[in-house]
């Protein structure tokens, strides 16, 4: 039985471990953090990822910790709907609705599903050595791990990627983002995203009593927080936007608000060398504009497991995985970056034209535009 080492215990790494174990492979996961946790963030799982989780037997567990997004809508700052896709329409066309989940709760679900798969915390990978028979991962504490293949699922700042393709700075998108999860009634929440000029605001129910929200603003990279904190700046920025956006910000404790510059990386032409390959954000980090970061990592996991199960030739299996996944994932990276550029338009005339085109686009055409990513089924 081939032994696989996974570097990274995030959503992509854990899903891959589950898929590989189900495929009959021996797996160990190594994570740099001393504990697995995600703070203050939600995510949307689209039908393409939900169908993979169902194939892995995790559909019921996911349903228990997530809620269906009632409407995927884009609005303007007054609250007027520019475009919308009801959940029932998405489910009918693609076989699943969009579900919203707290990242920490999804991570806990995946950890529980690992069962007895070894998960080593506090192991920071610094590099690897490989030969014709296997790969040895090296860790900061001097430990090593020998296996037949190494999967770098260690995020946008991946050490595995850096060794193979060089350590380069990520690409800054031109805008920064705040995010938080806060208690707030969600019964009549206008879920979706609102587009202004140079700023956006998103609202998503995590459950009946909590809302995940995010906000963006065009800004130079690396700006420090305002002296008064994040909250006063956000209340000023969105004070004239439709209700309940200002109220959601007001209800959020300052310490619960996270801020990150939005970054990705230019797509690679290859993900691996020999017995080593990349997965998830290590392979194709993307901006969050399509809600596909976790979804693409989940797709990677199942395809990789199927390729490794199909042949004992590990370098061939990893090359097959790359062939099946690279072009698609890179297209999502490029498309997501473009959508972010459109969403962050600052010129008022350009914003009005963008909003007009969104409002006049027929629903069927909206669905066709997302068919290639959301309607994807892994053969």
> What is the per-residue pLDDT for 186?
84
Contact criterion met (CB below 8 Å) for 376 and 93: no
Alpha-carbon distance of 247 to 256, in angstroms, equals: 15
pLDDT, tens only, 134-190: 999 999 989 999 999 999 999 999 999 999 999 999 999 999 999 999 999 887 888
What is the CATH architecture of 3-169+265-374?
3-Layer(bba) Sandwich (3.50)
> What is the per-residue pLDDT for 40?
62
Torsion-angle region of 226 (φ positive above 0: left; ψ -120 to 50: alpha; else: beta) = beta
- The reported pTM is 0.95
How far is residue 293 from each of residues 16, 38, 154, 272, 290, measured CA to CA in Å?
Answer: 15, 15, 14, 20, 8
- Reduced to 3 states (helix: H, G, I; strand: E, B; else coil), residue 255 is helix
Contact criterion met (CB below 8 Å) for 45 and 93: no
Alpha-carbon distance of 266 to 170, in angstroms, equals: 8
Spatial CB neighbours of 286, under 8 Å, sequence gap ≥ 6: 264, 292, 293, 296, 332, 333, 336, 337
pLDDT, tens only, 67-106: 998 888 999 999 999 999 888 899 999 999 999 999 999 9
Average pLDDT, the chain: 95
**Domain boundary assignment for the chain:** 3-169+265-374
> What is the per-residue pLDDT for 38?
67
pLDDT, tens only, 8-56: 999 999 999 999 999 999 999 999 998 887 666 889 999 999 999 999 9
- Reduced to 3 states (helix: H, G, I; strand: E, B; else coil), residue 204 is strand
Across 340-348, average pLDDT: 97
Residue 166 has a CB neighbour count (10 Å cut-off) of 7
Please report the DSSP string for 81-99 in residue order: EEEEEEHHHHHHHHSS--E
């Amino acid at each position: 039985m081939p032994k696989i080492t996974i570097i990274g215990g995030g959503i992509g790494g854990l899903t891959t471990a589950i898929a590989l174990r189900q495929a009959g492979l021996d797996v160990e996961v190594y994570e740099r953090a001393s504990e697995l946790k995600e703070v203050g963030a939600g995510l949307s799982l689209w039908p393409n990822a939900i169908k993979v989780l169902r194939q892995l037997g995790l559909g019921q567990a996911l349903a228990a910790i997530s809620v269906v997004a009632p409407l995927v809508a884009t609005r303007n700052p007054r609250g007027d709907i520019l475009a919308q896709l009801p959940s029932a329409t998405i489910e009918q066309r693609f076989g699943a609705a969009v579900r919203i989940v707290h990242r920490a709760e999804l991570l806990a679900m995946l950890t529980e599903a690992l069962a007895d798969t070894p998960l080593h915390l506090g192991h920071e990978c610094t590099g690897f050595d490989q030969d014709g028979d296997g790969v040895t991962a090296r860790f900061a504490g001097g430990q090593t791990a020998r296996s037949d293949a190494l999967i770098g699922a260690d995020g946008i700042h991946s050490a595995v990627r850096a060794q193979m393709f060089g350590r380069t700075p990520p690409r800054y998108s031109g805008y920064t983002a705040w995010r938080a999860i806060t208690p707030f009634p969600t019964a009549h929440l206008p879920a979706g995203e609102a587009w202004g000029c140079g700023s956006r605001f998103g609202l998503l129910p995590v459950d009946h009593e909590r809302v995940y929200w995010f906000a963006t603003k065009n800004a130079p990279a690396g700006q420090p927080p305002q002296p008064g904190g994040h909250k006063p700046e956000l209340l000023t920025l969105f004070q004239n936007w439709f209700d309940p956006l200002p109220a959601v910000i007001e209800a959020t404790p300052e310490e619960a608000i996270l801020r990150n510059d939005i970054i990705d990386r230019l797509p690679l032409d290859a993900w691996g060398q020999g017995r080593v390959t990349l997965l998830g954000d290590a392979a194709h980090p993307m901006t969050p504009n399509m809600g596909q970061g976790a979804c693409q990592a989940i797709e990677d996991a199942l395809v990789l497991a199927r390729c490794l199960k199909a042949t004992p030739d590990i370098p061939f299996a990893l090359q097959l995985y790359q062939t099946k996944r690279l072009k698609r994932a890179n297209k999502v990276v490029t498309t997501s970056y473009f959508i972010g550029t459109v969403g962050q338009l600052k010129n008022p005339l350009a914003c009005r034209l963008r909003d007009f085109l969104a409002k006049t686009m027929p629903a069927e055409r909206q669905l066709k535009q997302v068919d290639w990513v959301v309607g994807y089924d892994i053969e």
